[in-house]
Structure 1
């Protein structure tokens, strides 16, 4: 039954009353609120990607500032991802105990991988770090891996280099 067709006068009265109360609020929402809302398909503001610190000139202060702001935002996002994975692992362990080592293996692997990647990028930078220090850490790690092999695999032997 369509909303505007009532079966009797009692229903017609309550339909009219409902339209009188709901009509102005619906009009205000559709004509004023929704056209003025920012339309994001996600729940957080999406910033445009800016040039990284290695693409900035040394005297371009604005570019360096934007690169540092982008670095801080990326670090916060990566930290939250690791925290969410840690929470998932803790919940899985609490729920699946005593068989959690077997049943939470995939969640544990994801968390360990994310935590290791986070530490590779942001760990051991000290209290006051920025995009330049993180970039230098990445550069030094790449030089080390080129000379000695992947970090954690031990140093190359003399025979392997030749």
Structure 2
């Protein structure tokens, strides 16, 4: 395998690099010119799951619908909690970086307070292990 800037040390290495280049050059060209431009960029962390019916749209005997609604509720709660954690981290990092003058952090602090209030309105008095049925009732 050729190693870039290092020149070959002997005839065998030169021969090996030549054979390797016979195979590698067309494959690399094909991948860079044909495959890569036509491939859609996929970011795994931008995965969007389809929404399922809410618990009030499920029939009383439809257990699968209730299960899916409960999983959707847990996923929504987890996303809201993680957003709140990100806002906490941003606010704390700003306070650490900008201290003792924290006027620049006022917007981050207000955003965090608003998100915290909204999270508490939605999930605050429910407890850690709650189902969507308990939440609706």
TM-score (norm 2): 0.71
Alignment of 1:61-100 (within 5 A): 61-100=63-102
For structure 1, the residue ranges without an aligned partner over 5 or more in a row are 1-13, 137-162
Residue 24 (structure 2) aligns with? 21
Tell me by how many angstroms 1:90 deviates.
0.4
Q: Counterparts of 1:66 and 1:23 in 2: how far apart (Å)?
A: 49
RMSD (Å) for aligned C-alpha atoms: 3.1
For the 8 Å contact 1:88–1:107, the answer to whether it is kept is yes
* Count of aligned pairs between the two proteins: 118
Tell me by how many angstroms 1:134 deviates.
2.0
- Pick closer, same or farther for the CA change 1:87–1:19 going to 2, 3 Å: farther
Higher relative contact order, structure no. (Cα contacts within 8 Å, ≥ 6 residues apart): 2
For structure 2, the residue ranges without an aligned partner over 5 or more in a row are 1-16
Q: Counterparts of 2:71 and 2:25 in 1: how far apart (Å)?
A: 45
TM-score (norm 1): 0.61
Q: Counterparts of 1:57 and 1:132 in 2: how far apart (Å)?
A: 13
- Pick closer, same or farther for the CA change 1:122–1:97 going to 2, 3 Å: same
Tell me by how many angstroms 1:107 deviates.
0.2
For the 8 Å contact 1:52–1:67, the answer to whether it is kept is yes
Q: Counterparts of 2:118 and 2:59 in 1: how far apart (Å)?
A: 28
| SS of residue paired to 1:93 | helix
1:49 to 48, 51, 61: 51
Tell me by how many angstroms 1:77 deviates.
0.8
